Structure 1
Amino acid sequence: MTLFLAAIAWIFDPAAHSGQNALPTRIAEHLGYTFGAVLIAAVIALPAGYLIGHTGRGRELAVSFTGGMRALPSLGILILFALGLGIGFKAPLLAFVILAIPPLLAGAYAGIEAIDRLTIDAARAVGMTEWQILVTVEIPLGMPLLIGGIRAGVLQVVATATLAAYVGGGALGGYIFHGISTKNYIEMLGASIVVTALALVLEGLFSVTQKAVVPHGVSAGRAKMVRVRPSRPRTAVTYPIEKGK
């Protein structure tokens, strides 16, 4: 408990908020890796995911691809890029893009696949083109699952971005690696608390966003589950039969 309180005090210590290694600077670097990697991954994964979901082609390949990508070791990818690109922010950013692509790709095509085919057939029946169906029907209806994929990608990157410091990329992992080398457990725990807090805040924001993007017509049309109290049968009252009656 004393170590935890000391870590909290380290977070709010004015000395940790000034200088070249300031905590706000490291937080900004951490969030920069997170949203930068997810943004680049979205440019790559969303068009491919929408194409797969709309046409139904290549789904098996996409499932195998996302499964294989998720099995890749984060530290191994980071070191591999660092050996090719050198120390700095480029290697961590590209490694985090690789990590963010699978959940975004899965969220894009799964969101379209989850739509009732009768809805798509109705859109074609009224004369909509394939592009109009994708933009005005499939993307809005598949948005909740897409936000879920983005949510998973953001949380995965924000938790893994601590490894950026391993190749001189900064972020909050710098405090953790420095604490390991100097046995400064207060600094290590304080940085870990900040990373956890960032993950919880982002989780809450995307959870609210995922609920907010559900189309009104879909949310209004959902049947509400009403719990009906079962009627308890009355106990039959019997009277003893008297002798002679």
Structure 2
Amino acid sequence: MPATVPLLELRGVAVGYAERLVLQDIDLAVPAGSVTAILGANGSGKSTLLRTAARLHKLAAGSIRVGGTELSELSAGALARRLAFLPQSALVPPGVSVRELVGYGRTPHQGLLGRASGTDREAVDEALARTRLSDLADRTVDALSGGERQRAWIAMALAQRTDVLLLDEPTTFLDLRHQSEVLDLLHDLAADAGKAVVAVLHDLNHAAAVADQVVLVGDGRLIAAGRPAEVITTEHIRAGYRLEVAVDTDPETGTPVCRPYRLNHY
């Protein structure tokens, strides 16, 4: 596959429920080794966009490619070997260990008997190490802190060994320290492992700090897409959030920093 082909590409995507379109005219290309943050107000369609990329919603129009192959041409197993999706508020049965949870990520690679191979065990160990959970592998997931639990879910997705990783609000309900840990992990997965990481985020400043590309969705359409400094502007945030912000530049990182100062009531 040529290096110029994006790992994930959406062209003219539209999605609807019943008679109503909730997303339309969405174009997006996500290259290897990058983090893309999807931003937007509540109800803007950002989670629907992510779930559509994971083939959890039927397209009303357009096409989606993973590694140059149409999503519609892939079996469920083949898709799970190319793309991992981590939803919001994922639940795990009580008593499941961290290692067992991470091992679920190997399911798409196992045969009908579901027996773990040496490659499966290697993938689980690697995912645990990358998420700094090796020492907690035998602890039950329900005994972990919020940040550790979120890292365990990300480790499960990593164990799939896919090129594309989709995460829906991975920092929700985490405190500042654990948010930072998760964002650093996403950055490292893209920079060091060459993955295409796409995450729905709420915090504009987090998105600006971690993302190579930012996508702003509003009223079911793409308001802007590009580098953080190109998208996180007063005009775009006004359009996407009905919110007035001052946008400054962090002197150390050069990334935009937002400071809300007045609500607009339309």
Q: TM-score, normalised on structure 2?
A: 0.23
Q: Which has the higher strand share?
A: 2
Greater gyration radius: 1
Q: TM-score, normalised on structure 1?
A: 0.24
Q: Which has the higher helix share?
A: 1
